[in-house]
Amino acid sequence: MVNTPELDRSPCGHLVPTVEGFKAFVPNPLPRELSLSSSLISALDKASLAVGTLAGVGETLQNPHLLITPFLRREAVLSSRIEGTQASISDVFIFEAGGERADAPDTREVVNYVHALNLGLERLNELPICVRLTNEVHARLMHGVRGEDRTPGQLREHQNWIGTRGTNIEDARFIPPPPELVSDLMADWERFVNENLEMPALIQCALMHYQFEAIHPYLDGNGRIGRLLITLFLCAREVLPTPLLYLSAYFDKRRDDYINHLYRVSATGEWEPWITFFLRGVEQQARDALIRSRRVRELHQRYVQLLQSKRESANALRLLDILFANPYVTAPRASEALGVTHAGAQGILNRLVRAGVLEHVSGRWPRLYVARELLRAIEVPIAA
């Protein structure tokens, strides 16, 4: 049976009956003011400093896509992994390079996350963060993959629940609000996200994320949309000039803590443990992004100098930039991207292999190449 006693006593929400005969949790409107303890202020200061440093790096990048593109794909893999998807960043890069069939379902789900986040970032030029935006992003996330039959892009009209995969509602850990309440709850969520509050943006973001997950407004994909919204919120509020900060690596590594902290807010009404956990994640992932971006930029500079010393062509240098967006490449893809013949593209690839920038990946057709050192810089964990 659903464990409800602590939720029944919650100061930040209440239980209501569902048509299925169970009790669903309805969160109260989000608080517009919070008292900050000295320890929370300390965590906020550290997180803000790390984000500010990362934002400064983002503003000075001559070609931000050298970092944004691979970082976004890493986020897509890790956010999807929390939901049980088994695809690696190499799977995604190979798929996008044309080296993998289009029928790999887990990879397709991760690629959809990339497209959904890109769509959200583009739509921020025209829309605030709002239900219309989340609906559009959700529709893109669920297009053509598992869950596409569960009303993509629409607030749910049926009851859902949270538990391990395959859990029945009677064994669920948490039952979100009944569907008839979702629209009004999301309207308040939308107001909160766009209010000009006397509240630090990082704390407002932590509250926004909790509330979205508590409402669970879609039949599927809520976790991924909720994590995606963190980046969208920080970009919309201009905390980040470029989307370089992602928290899914932190949440994935501490998956049980992540879930337990969200649940604890509902059960106790205590915001500080969740916000502190969130801010530590922001600090750690901002520092991770700084170190990772430094690795990638230094490697790019070294490769440019190497190719220039070998008097390589402008097309070889153009291909180098393409590799930093995706370390995997085929001759057909290089030919298309550079506007040269297949033979011309193959010649450039062969020279990059001899220079040690690329290596051939055996057992693939069309012949696949990888910038292995770059791939390690993108995906290898960095010590906290």
List of domains in the chain: 5-290 (1.10.3290.10), 310-379 (1.10.10.10)
- Amino acid occupying residue 333: R
- pLDDT confidence bin for 4, thresholds 50/70/90: low
Q: Kindly report, residue by residue over 8-32, the tens digit of the pLDDT.
A: 899 999 999 998 889 999 999 999 9
Given a contact cutoff of 8 angstroms between Cβ atoms, the answer to whether 176 and 161 are in contact is yes
Q: How confident is the model at residue 220 (pLDDT cuts 50, 70, 90)?
A: very high
Q: What is the mean pLDDT of residues 255-267?
A: 96
In tens, the pLDDT along 313-351 reads: 999 999 999 999 999 999 999 999 999 999 999 999 999
Q: Burial code of 178-212, b = ≥16 C-beta within 10 A, e = fewer? A: bbeebeebbeebbebbeeebebbbbbbbbbbbbbb
Average pLDDT (241-270) is 95
Tokens of 219: 């039949």
pLDDT for 1 equals 41
In this prediction the pTM is: 0.93
Q: What phi and psi values does residue 216 have, to the nearest 5 degrees?
A: 50, 65
Evaluate whether 215 touches 12 at the Cβ level (below 8 Å): no
pLDDT per position as a tens digit, 51-62: 999 999 887 777
Q: Considering only CA atoms, which of 277, 247, 280, 248 is closest in space to residue 262? A: 277
pLDDT of residue 150: 85
Question: Which helix (H) or strand (E) segment is 48 a member of?
Answer: helix 38-60
Q: Residue 107 phi/psi, 5° resolution?
A: -65, -40
Bridge partners, 15 (sequence order): 25
Dig out the tokens for 105 from the structure.
């379902």
At 240 the pLDDT is 93
Distance CA 86, CA 323 (A): 24
pLDDT of 81-120, one tens digit each? 999 888 999 999 999 988 665 558 899 999 999 999 999 9
d(CA 254, CA 262): 12
